[in-house]
Chains A and B, each alone.
Chain A
Amino acid sequence: SYDLTQPPSLSVSPGQTASISCSGDKLEEKYVSWYQQKPGQSPVLVMYQDMKRPSGIPERFSGSNSGNTATLTISGTQAMDEADYFCQAWDIRTYLIFGGGTRLTVL
């Protein structure tokens, strides 16, 4: 089966850049999406097709995918960005896969 690996947690100070990684075998050959989930809420799509932002997602969110790693970058991180972030991809054998999630703390 195909797996996506994320660091469990990441802490940044307000205004700093947060880079959340998602690793998988030859991940650059797949399209990666990212979801933000705040406590008690449903996930929200914040990035798709590696680097495209849905309408309404702030420009400080950006994405990249190269080699075995996709990265969600939040520039000028704000307190409101504190949440769990999940990467997701499609694999021809496993179909839809989520990473284990990264808890972003802004302190």
Chain B
Amino acid sequence: QVTLRESGPALVKPTQTLTLTCTFSGFSLNTRKMCVSWIRQPPGKALEWLALINWDDDKYYNTSLKTRLTISKDTSKNQVILTMTNMDPVDTGTFYCARMVWDGYNNFDYWGQGTLVTVSA
């Protein structure tokens, strides 16, 4: 079955760079149409899509955050990595990774359990 799990620091300081890893199983990012995205959610607020990487190593970013984000994959480890630079307290929230099948409908059919990141000095 498909599973995804996020990992990374629970606490980062302002101005630091956040690095999160999504480790998945049950599918391969070498398979055509497979994609993994990162999505975040501040406490009590809405979901916000951050970035996506596909089977062909194409990368898509939230235009508002593009200058701060980098997404990459390590297919040998079944991992997708997100870095977010210049962290600020307003970036505090739960970060999810999720699978998407690029089929024109483009929705997230499997999600990780999320990892809470707090930005504080």
Q: B-contacting residues of A (Cβ < 8 Å)? A: 1, 31, 33, 35, 37, 42-45, 48-49, 54, 86, 88, 90, 94-101
B107 at the interface (CB under 8 A from A): yes
Would you give the shortest CB distance from A105 to chain B, in whole angstroms?
A: 15
Assess the B46–A99 pair: CB atoms within 8 A: yes
| A94 cross-chain contacts in B, Cβ below 8 A | 63
Q: What size tier do the contact residues of chain B reach?
A: 20 to 34
Contact of A48 among B46, B48, B60, B107 (CB under 8 A): B107
Q: A-contacting residues of B (Cβ < 8 Å)? A: 37, 39, 45-49, 52, 60-64, 96, 104-109, 111-114
Assess the B106–A90 pair: CB atoms within 8 A: yes
Would you give the shortest CB distance from B117 to chain A, in whole angstroms?
A: 15
User: Given A42-B114, A43-B111, does the pair A49, B49 have CB atoms closer than 8 Å?
Assistant: no
Would you give the shortest CB distance from B39 to chain A, in whole angstroms?
A: 8
Docked CA distance A94–B90 (Å) = 22
| B45 cross-chain contacts in A, Cβ below 8 A | 101
Docked CA distance A92–B54 (Å) = 16
User: Given A1-B63, A42-B111, A95-B52, does the pair A49, B47 have CB atoms closer than 8 Å?
Assistant: no
Assess the A42–B49 pair: CB atoms within 8 A: no
Contact of B107 among A1, A45, A100 (CB under 8 A): A45
Assess the A33–B107 pair: CB atoms within 8 A: yes
Assess the B105–A48 pair: CB atoms within 8 A: yes
User: Given A1-B63, A42-B96, A95-B60, does the pair A35, B108 have CB atoms closer than 8 Å?
Assistant: yes
